[in-house]
Amino acid sequence: MKMLLKDILYKVNLTSVAGDMGLEVTGVQFDSRKVEKGNLFVAVKGTQVDGHEYIDQAIKQGAMAVVCEEMPFEPAKDVTFVATKNSSHALGIIASNYHGNPSAKLKLVGVTGTNGKTTTVTLLYKLFRSLGYHAGMLSTVENVINDKIIPSSHTTPDALSLNELMAKMVKEKCQFAFMEVSSHAIDQNRIAGLSFDGAVFMNISHDHLDYHTTFENYINSKKRLFDELPASSFALVNLDDRRGQIMLQNTKAAQYSFGLKFMTDYKAKVVTNSYQGLELDINGQSVWFRLIGKFNAYNLLAAYAVAELLHEDREEVLMMLSGLEPAPGRFEVIQAGSDIIALVDYAHTPDALENVLQTIDGFRSGNEQVITVVGCGGNRDKDKRPVMASIAVKWSDKVIFTDDNPRDEESKDILDDMMKGVGKSFVKKTLVISDRKEAIKTACSMANDHDIILVAGKGHEDYQEIKGEKMPFDDRKILKEMLELFRS
Ligand SMILES: CC(=O)N[C@H]1[C@@H](OP(=O)(O)OP(=O)(O)OC[C@H]2O[C@@H](n3ccc(=O)[nH]c3=O)[C@H](O)[C@@H]2O)O[C@H](CO)[C@@H](O)[C@@H]1O[C@H](C)C(=O)N[C@@H](C)C(=O)N[C@H](CCC(=O)O)C(=O)O
Ligand SMILES: Nc1ncnc2c1ncn2[C@@H]1O[C@H](COP(=O)(O)OP(=O)(O)OP(=O)(O)O)[C@@H](O)[C@H]1O
Ligand SMILES: N[C@H](CCC[C@H](N)C(=O)O)C(=O)O
Ligand SMILES: [Mg+2]
């Protein structure tokens, strides 16, 4: 699709220009390897390399225009160079302009938080579909436009991909879009230029310190989502998390709160929490839901509050929400015809793991054992490894530490980091089996009727990433297979 450079750069803060702004570009790229003849190349400083190093390559591949932060000494002839203070921010606006500002044509709600984003946006997407609307969703599990699934590679896609997806939503007549907003996406300006109608803060707890380096930076990156909301939008925060209030400090948006503990605009009380589901009292009305665990009360309440803030009918919303299934791989019960309770969950943070294990603990009625299989991702926050391990041993009778996407790291190093969190008295209940299939098999071999097996960390993922390769691996399939093996 062709577009005039000056139109593509509309609202981008330019510090200098060299060349023709009236030229027509054939597309936009921020990766030189993907540049085609006539494209605009946006040079972005990344975490690994600096995109400015690839300007020459982009021009060789046919780039006609370049957005950069530093003008080269000798800009190439016949190529227009424009400088801006922050290329990644410019990229967000450019991507939005290039795709016709699709977010402004949708009612767009972003959900941020360490845990609960996928669950909440999935509930919202399904809710609005069942209310009869055309709607889209961008999530860790999948991107969906009405009923069309588009595989997802990130929790929040890069600026070009996400605007392209939203343009498709507009084309498919979607009125609503619900998206997860990761802290990486905020920090890297993937969401710059989007026009939000509302944003939700779920919670913040230990994660991603490899990237943000300090917890304060992590909080501040989430806060930026709320700081940059327009006055016409809403900011909905969980006040049971003490950082909820911080999110509201500088927002221009209309402020709303939800929670289980304090006086909030949207308040719920857990009446019943069991393997059958959750019974919540929401603002005085009792409703059953299919999701399990107190933590899911927050996700359900947030989805309910968003629907109300988007002016949907309260009764209808609660009725529809009540029938919805959880997102795939979130507290998913694996049925294999045995009396063992087998669960797959995406808990990959200390807080998530503790929530899930506490939930399971609360359901114990006798001497059943809890057997947990868990690992920690490679090339990710190392500090959370011993913390997750200590939570696993605290709440389980037996624990098997295993691989979870070791990526470029040695499996042994990750498992050693985890073992540092296991106090001496707990070592005897701990096994280390790096091969995840073997670990699940061992858990199944140890389990007796009514015991509970939790396989945590990978949820819906259908791969194991080792040294740049993604091998097929699905906890849900392996767990079922192994349960069946030991049943016969
Ligand atoms: C750490 C991180 O977030 N990295 C993301 C980032 O890449 P980067 O900054 O490392 O890029 P880089 O390799 O340094 O390259 C810098 C620039 O040079 C360009 N380049 C590079 C090489 C070349 O030959 N030519 C060229 O032009 C690149 O296209 C890029 O524009 O920008 C890329 C494009 O948007 C992302 O794909 C990439 O995600 C990586 C793969 C990743 O694993 N990200 C994870 C951590 C992530 O984003 N996770 C969050 C969810 C977290 C959660 O909530 O749990 C997510 O939203 O998915
Ligand atoms: N509101 C919540 N508070 C705390 N823990 C939660 C909450 N909701 C879900 N969890 C736990 O966190 C796990 C991940 O949930 P979910 O996928 O909804 O979160 P997410 O924020 O999308 O995660 P990601 O950052 O990987 O995208 C769940 O499997 C569960 O263990
Ligand atoms: N969005 C999270 C997912 C982690 C999932 C876990 N299975 C892992 O690979 O660490 C991340 O990219 O950090
Ligand atoms: Mg998610």
Q: How high is the pLDDT of residue 366?
A: 86
Nearest ligand to the CA atom of 332: 2
Residue that finishes a domain, picked among 261, 287, 321 = 321
CA-proximal residue: ligand 1, atom 9 (nearest): 46
**φ, ψ for residue 300, nearest 5 deg:** -65, -45
* Same domain (yes/no): 425, 482: yes
Query: Which residues neighbour 424 within 8 Å (Cβ) at sequence distance 6 or greater?
Result: none
Q: What is the pLDDT along the chain (488 residues), one digit of tens a residue?
A: 999 999 999 999 999 999 999 999 999 999 999 999 999 999 999 999 999 999 999 999 999 999 999 988 887 889 999 999 999 999 999 999 999 999 999 999 999 999 999 999 999 999 999 999 999 999 999 999 999 999 999 999 999 999 999 999 999 999 999 999 999 999 999 999 999 999 999 999 999 999 999 999 999 999 999 999 999 999 999 999 999 999 999 999 999 999 999 999 999 999 999 999 999 999 889 999 999 999 999 999 999 999 999 999 999 999 999 999 999 999 999 999 889 999 999 999 999 999 999 999 999 988 999 999 999 999 999 999 999 999 999 999 999 999 999 999 999 999 999 999 999 999 999 999 999 999 999 999 999 999 999 999 999 999 999 999 999 999 999 999 999 999 86
For the record, the structure tokens of 311 come out as 């002016």
* Same domain (yes/no): 276, 171: yes
Residue that finishes a domain, picked among 79, 98, 117 = 98
Ligand 4 geometric centre to CA of 396 (Å): 25
Ligand 2 contact via 375 beta carbon (within 6 Å): no
* Same domain (yes/no): 176, 305: yes
In a domain, 326, yes or no: no
Residue that finishes a domain, picked among 68, 98, 128 = 98
CATH number at residue 410: 3.90.190.20
* Same domain (yes/no): 107, 17: no
Q: How high is the pLDDT of residue 34?
A: 98
In a domain, 341, yes or no: yes
pTM value surpassing 0.95: yes
Q: How high is the pLDDT of residue 488?
A: 63
Ligand 2 contact via 208 beta carbon (within 6 Å): no
Q: Which domain holds residue 446?
A: 332-487
* Same domain (yes/no): 396, 304: no
Task: Look up the ipTM and state it.
Answer: 0.98
CA-proximal residue: ligand 3, atom 13 (nearest): 380
In a domain, 327, yes or no: no
In a domain, 193, yes or no: yes
* Same domain (yes/no): 278, 141: yes
* Same domain (yes/no): 465, 358: yes
Number of compact structural domains in the chain: 3
Q: How high is the pLDDT of residue 73?
A: 80
Q: How high is the pLDDT of residue 77?
A: 84
* Same domain (yes/no): 120, 79: no
CA-proximal residue: ligand 3, atom 3 (nearest): 348
Ion ligand 4 residues within 5 Å by Cβ: 117-118, 140, 155, 180
* Same domain (yes/no): 201, 148: yes
* Same domain (yes/no): 118, 30: no
Residues with CB under 6 A from ligand 1: 30-33, 44, 46-49, 51, 54, 154-156, 158, 182, 184-185, 188
CA-proximal residue: ligand 1, atom 40 (nearest): 154
Q: How high is the pLDDT of residue 338?
A: 87
In a domain, 190, yes or no: yes
